[in-house]
Every structure is written in structure tokens, then in C-alpha cells.
Amino acid sequence: MGKIVSFLLFLTLPLISIAQQFVPNYDEAKVPTYKLPDPLIFKDGSAVKSKKDWSKRRGEIYHIFEKEVFGVVPEWKGFVRSTLVSLKEDELDGIAKRKEVRLDLINGDRRISVMILIYLPHKSKNAPIFLSYNFDGNHTITTASDVTLPDSWVSNSKEYGITNNKANESGRGEAISRWPLRDIISRGFGVATVYYGDVDPDFNDGFKNGVHRLFDSQRDSTSWGSIAAWAWGLSRVMDYFETDKEINSKRVIVMGHSRLGKAALWAGASDKRFAITISNNSGCGGAAISRRKFGETVGKINSSFPYWFCDNFKKYNNNEDSMPIDQHELIALIAPRPVYVASAAEDLWADPKGEFLSCVNASPVYKRLLMKGFPAKEMPALNKPVFGNISYHIRSGKHDITLYDWQCYMDFAVHYFKFSK
């Protein structure tokens, strides 16, 4: 009898698997009714009435995101050492200087090395600078043959998840469409990029190969995941910027695409030194409202990437309404500094409307701080940006970062930094 039951169970396993297959909702009519938590109401029910009140309420919200979503970063007892690796004075037909700087993050006998590739315009001193991770190595954003290949794990998108992938020359320049360096430098901006795998490899490695291993700490349900590690790495780059006289550390724009857009938002919320924060197609766990359950959901992202967030975040799998926060409050944490959120019309997985609604619902915090906030109530037309202290656009096309996106971000930064380019 036992053998028969086992055989029948074996036959039904494929059916169970099919029944549990995730099917994303892309129908607005099927978005559930939900109520968002109010960022201007304290946990005790009292209201935020002043800037001082917001500072306290911000602390409440931040600690919830720490303990329930991204994870708590342990105390850092190490130090960072920078080394100039290469310098080219005449790049991009003479309009830019290019340098590579290696950061060694050191704690006792443990060390992680992170390479920063930096382009600075010759004609603009103390230029604002975009800081953003890249996905496959610094060498992928340029065809320059002497930009250093990373020696850490690379995703090699065709073989994603293979833990022994290494970068090679075939990837050089493959991501230049996402990095319009000439256009950015010509507008008077610098660019700094880091390969995100240098900071933490993007696979479930038990937190043994990235910056996590620099820390002496026991892991629990609040321990930090990879997104918090990537955000922490951006702050270590900022530490270096403050020592480099060629870089204006007061005008650093932290920007990220997709999962790295999530990291950029958390970096902007965690480190007030970032002057502007930009989220490009960041979706679930980034700018999109989780309670909408549109496209990628909390349950889906936690099953696909269980190491991105802290374990407490898994409590909200298929249980988003019980979350004590939602993603509009992540944007609100950046106030009063400006933030830009962008979506793509064909990127339904990232829930463009949910990203827009986060801007709408974060706006009252900016207005309470006597700022313009977000000046729209309805989704804008394609390729028609809405500019405020919170800005937003939805462009035509797919999940990507394009020249159009960069042009909007530069327009935004020119306005807030008040320089003419």
C-alpha cells in the first residue's frame, strides 16, 4: 500500500509544481484594494507637524526598513585604502580624464578590493558626478582596451548563477549603450562606476565571498542581504570621493538600474551625503508599491533571490498587507534631497504605475518640509517627464537604461545644482 501511495504522489508532483507556478498579474482590474501606511503618522498615532517631528518619524521608518526589508549592517571596524591604478589625461577625443582607483576594504587579515572607473570632464572643475554600479565589469562600459577586467565573479548573463564565471575580453564594450559617456561628459558631468560583483557576488553564496565576510557577526532574521551590501559599498566609494580633490563630493548623484536601482534607493536613504538619488526601473523592493501585487511580488522576489533581503522580509510573501511600511516610504526617507524615479512602458514586471504611485504618496513628506514635492496626480504621457523635488518619467521601450533616461537625469541635476550646461 505504501508503495502505491508513493507512486501516486510521484505522479502528482509535476501537477503540484504546475499549480504553484507563479503567474504575474498585469491587469489593473485585478489589483487588490489596499491602504498604504502614512509616513506622516507616528506609530503611536500622532502626526508629524514639523521638520523636527519628521526627523523622529524618519528614524522610525528607517529602522523598520532595516529590520524588516534590507537588513541591519553590523558596525564597521575596518578601514578603506585607495590606490591610483591608472590615469589617462586625454580620453573621448580629449574631453575627459579617465582614472582607475582601487579601494581595499580591510578588516584585520580580511580584504575586499573594489575598482572604481572614473571619467571627469576637462572643462568643468568640481563637476557633479554620477555614481552607479555596472552589471558585468567596468570594461563593459567602454571599448578602451586598457580598462582593467574584474577578477571577481561575473554573471555572464548567458550562464547566470555559475559561480566560477570570470570576465574576458569578449565583454569589452558590450554595455556602452547604457553608458553614453560622451553625452554625459559633454554636459559637464563626471561618471564613476563600480562592478557590483566586486562588492558582493549576485548568487546565493551564504554571504561568504563579498563584503559580508569582512564583519564579525552572527546572522539572524535581521541580518543584511546583498542589496544592503551594494548600498554599503556605494557609501565606501563616497568615503573615497571625500578625499579626492578632483571630485565634488557635495554633488554626487547615486543612480541604479533594476536591482541596482533598489540598492541606489537604499543608499540614498541610508547616506545623506548623496545629493540626488535616481531609481531606474527598480520595481519590487525598489520604487514600486508592494501592496499592488502587480508584476513581480514580494513572494516571487524572495523565492528567486532569497539573499537580496533580510530573512524577515519573507514574512510578507503573499502577505503584503501586513507590511508595516511600503515603498513610497523608502522614497520619503530621502527627503528633503531630490529623487528621480523612472519606468519603462513595456516593463510591466517592475510595475510602472506602482513606481509612479510611490512618488505620489511620498510627496506629502516633501510638502510638509515646505518643498514642491511631486507635482502630478495622474500618470504622465510617455516620454513627458514630471519635474519636482520628486521627479518621474515613463518612457517607451523595455527594461533598460537609455540615452533618453540619462538626458532626463542630467536635466534634473542641472536644475537642482543650478549650473548651465
Residues in the chain: 421
| Phi, psi angles (nearest 5°) of residue 232 | -60, -40
| CA dihedral sign, ordered 355, 368, 238, 114 | negative
Alpha helices by DSSP H, listed for 187-326, are 196-199, 226-241, 259-270, 298-304
Q: What are phi and psi of 129, to 5 degrees?
A: -135, 135
Q: Note the Cα 368 to chain centre separation in Å.
A: 26
Question: Residues 6 or more apart from 266 whose CB is under 8 A from it?
Answer: 65, 70, 227, 228, 231, 330
Query: What is the grid cell recorded at 347?
Result: 516593463
Amino acid present at 204: N
| DSSP-derived secondary structure for 136-175 | S-GGGG---TTSPPP-S----GGGTT-TT----GGGTTTT
Q: CB of 196 within 8 A of CB of 135?
A: yes
399 is catalytic: yes
- Euclidean distance between CA atoms 128 and 116, whole angstroms: 16
Q: Give the cell for residue 161.
A: 548563477
Gap between the Cα atoms of 227 and 307, Å rounded: 9
Pick the catalytic residue from 223, 226, 258, 343.
258
Write phi, then psi, for 358 (nearest 5 degrees). Answer: -65, -40
**What number of other Cβ atoms are within 10 A of residue 370's Cβ?**
9
Catalytic residue numbers, as ranges: 258, 399
